Each structure stands twice: as structure tokens, then as C-alpha cells.
Amino acid sequence: MVSPATRKNLPKARAMDFITSTAILPLLFGCLGVFGLFRLLQWVRGKAYLRHAVVVITGATSGLGKECAKVFYAAGAKLVLCGRNGGALEELIRELTASHATKVQTHKPYLVTFDLTDPGAVVAAAAEILQCFGYVDILVNNAGISYRGTIMDTTVDVDKRVMETNYFGPVALTKALLPSMIKRRQGHIVAISSIQGKISIPFRSAYAASKHATQAFFDCLRAEMEQYEIEVTVISPGYIHTNLSVNAITADGSRYGVMDTTTAQGRSPVEVAHDVLAAVGKKKKDVILADLLPSLAIYLRTLAPGLFFSLMASRARKERKFKNC
Ligand SMILES: NC(=O)C1=CN([C@@H]2O[C@H](COP(=O)(O)OP(=O)(O)OC[C@H]3O[C@@H](n4cnc5c(N)ncnc54)[C@H](OP(=O)(O)O)[C@@H]3O)[C@@H](O)[C@H]2O)C=CC1
Ligand SMILES: CCCCCCCCCCCCCCCC(=O)OCC(=O)COP(=O)(O)O
């Protein structure tokens, strides 16, 4: 006679018998093995892709750009570090060359100082880089500023400044380096956008607009460059713990100067830099580096725009009440 407990376990035992007596188990292990091998191959290819590659990083003086400089340097890239503050770049180069925390051969970085809002300086910087290295493998358009203010109070000069830094500057630098990439039929353009390149939140008009424009431009570029085998990666992070909010500009163009709680509670720039390195190594096309809520908000904006707009309007109402504006 079969006890109730044995009867309950019978289907489980039969399923186990089936798995072990048929080819399912070897098949399962086979699939896992192939997947593991594929990931290993991808990892090895990513490493080889970055080693000795000429990598230009803008906004390398602080935050995410500085951390990207560290991880690309450790991966063996030949770095060109860009920013407005030459002293900060020299200090970073000293820090990088003093550390021996990597097994791969490293290269002393080269620095170029220029302001992205100055089109002439951007073209001259690209020419200097090409004269020095002959070519660029990877351009990481990272530099950027954020903004806080109401649309009604913000001068058009401020809108332009944010667009010049976050959009026209990277576009100009990309265009200046593209011809040499096209000639070699090799190159990779990376744009550090933002979750705000996919959704717009109140009191960030200029910033969100500049990041939406970035997303659109580099999506077009990806399609147009496919024929030359040039890769384009757009990366959209959520909040990162950097000085972005402190350096943000306000409605009248003055510095915001506040470390927002959202920024302070953001991801570590070191972690995000590793994610950027991995995305570039895998030649990803579009990457979102954010928590669940911002990621869901992107879907909500597409699938239920009415609901998303109501949520944003309520957010604006609350923030206005809180700030009395
Ligand atoms: N922090 C965050 O929460 C998030 C950031 N991002 C994006 O990450 C990128 C890096 O920002 P993050 O590291 O956070 O901020 P930081 O303020 O720490 O760094 C910004 C960098 O941009 C450079 N920069 C600013 N204006 C100019 C200019 N006119 N010309 C040249 N360089 C300039 C700065 O260099 P310097 O002033 O020394 O010249 C600095 O190196 C930005 O594109 C930002 O939009 C995206 C999502 C979230
Ligand atoms: C199906 C349920 C979906 C629920 C969605 C609710 C909507 C929640 C809104 C979430 C908004 C997230 C905004 C994220 C913004 C962000 O990460 O920005 C990154 C930056 O670039 C930061 O710049 P800032 O200057 O604004 O600090």
C-alpha cells in the first residue's frame, strides 16, 4: 500500500527519473556550457578591444569621466583626457601613472584642454589629437552640465548654454573625428546621455531637451555609420553620486551649488564607469543604467503617456508648493 506522503512525492520522483533517464540533463549542461563559453569569449574580446585602443574621454576632470579614465586606463587604453581644467587633468594623470593596480601594459595619458561650447576650440582639439595619435578608436562624449529652473524664469541664453555643452559640443567633436574613422572603416562613438534623454521631468527643461537631442542624434548616427562599421553606443544612466547637481546652472545662469539628495543617493561613479567599460567592450547600442522605477517610467511614457504626463504634472505641483515657486 502507498502512503499519502509517497503518493504526494510520486510526480516529483517521476519527473526526476525522466530528467536523469533521458537526454535532458546532458542537454541542460551542454546549453549552460555553451552560454558560459560565449560569455567568456565576449569578455576576452572586450578586453582585447580596449587594450592599446586610442580612447578620447571628455569631462575627465571629475565624476563619471574621471572614473571612466581610471577603468579605461587600467584596461590598457591609450587615453586622451579632455576638460577645461588642465591642472585637474595633470593631477589625474599623475594619479593614474603612480598606480600599478593592473596587470596589462598601460600608457601615459595625453591631455587636451578645451571648452566644448567653443566650436573653434573643439575643431582645434580634434586636429591636435589626430596629429598626435593619427587616429581615434573610441570617443566617449561624457562631459555635460545639468540645470534647474522653471521654463518661464529661464533665459534663452541658459537654454543655449546647456545645449552647447551637452549637445552641440559633442556633435562638433564627433563630426571632427568621424572622417578619420570613416577612412579607416573603424571607430566607436559613445554618448553619455541620461534617463532624462528618454523621459522629461519638470524643472529640467534645458537638460532633458539636450539629452533627448543627444539620443536622437546618436541614434541617427548609428544607422548612417553602419556601412562604415563604426559603432555607436548611447548610455543612459540614472542618478550618479557626482558633482553634477552642484555644478548645474540655474534660470539666470548662476551656479546651483547644491548637492541634491537624489544625486547624493545615486550610484557610485566607480560602478557606473565599470558598466560603461563593459558596454563599450560588448559594443552595445543602447544601454540604460538605472533602477527599476526610472526604467519603468520609460515604458510608462511609451505605453500610457497620459498617465505619465499626469504623474509629472503632480510632481511639478508638489515641487512648486515645496519651493514656493
Ligand atoms: N550625475 C548624474 O546623476 C548623472 C550624470 N549623467 C551624465 O554624466 C556625464 C558626466 O557628468 P558627472 O560626472 O555626473 O558630472 P560632473 O559635474 O562631475 O562632471 C562634468 C564634467 O563635464 C565637464 N564639462 C562641463 N562643462 C564643460 C564644457 N563647457 N567644456 C568641457 N567640459 C565641460 C567638466 O569639466 P570641467 O568643468 O573641469 O571643465 C566635468 O569634467 C554628463 O553628461 C551627465 O549629464 C547622466 C545621468 C546621471
Ligand atoms: C508601471 C509603474 C511605473 C511607475 C513610474 C512612476 C514615475 C516615476 C518617475 C521617475 C522619474 C525618474 C527620474 C530619473 C531622472 C534621472 O535619473 O536623471 C539622471 C540625471 O541625469 C540626473 O540629472 P539631475 O540634474 O536631474 O540630477
**Which tens digits make up the pLDDT trace of 49-100?**
999 999 999 999 999 999 999 999 999 999 999 999 999 999 999 999 998 8
Domain boundaries, the chain: 48-290, 292-325
**Mutation choice for ligand 2 from 234, 246, 256, 300, CB with most ligand atoms inside 8 A:** 300
State yes or no: pLDDT of 2 exceeds 60. no
48-290 adopts what CATH topology? Rossmann fold (3.40.50)
Cross-strand pairs, 234: 191, 286
Closest residue by CA, ligand 1 atom 6? 194
Position 7 scores a pLDDT of 60
Residue 39: pLDDT band by 50, 70, 90 thresholds?
A: confident
How many CA atoms within 13 Å lie on the side-chain side of 57? 30
CA–CA distance from 16 to each of 8, 20, 27, 53 (Å)? 14, 6, 15, 51
Residue 46: pLDDT band by 50, 70, 90 thresholds?
A: confident
Mean pLDDT of 141-155: 98
Closest by CA position to 105, among listed 50, 186, 44, 40: 50
Q: Is the ipTM of this complex over 0.90?
A: yes
pTM reported for the whole predicted model = 0.91
187 Cα: distance to centroid of ligand 2 (angstroms): 32
Position 80 scores a pLDDT of 98
Ligand at shortest distance from the CA of 198: 2
Residue 42: pLDDT band by 50, 70, 90 thresholds?
A: confident
Closest residue by CA, ligand 2 atom 7? 297
Q: Which residues are catalytic?
A: 207
Nearest atom in ligand 2 to the alpha carbon of residue 146 is 25
| Pairwise CA distance, residues 320 & 308, whole Å | 18
281-320 confidence digits (pLDDT tens): 999 999 999 999 999 999 999 999 999 999 999 999 999 9
State yes or no: pLDDT of 218 exceeds 70. yes
**Mutation choice for ligand 1 from 57, 212, 240, CB with most ligand atoms inside 8 A:** 240
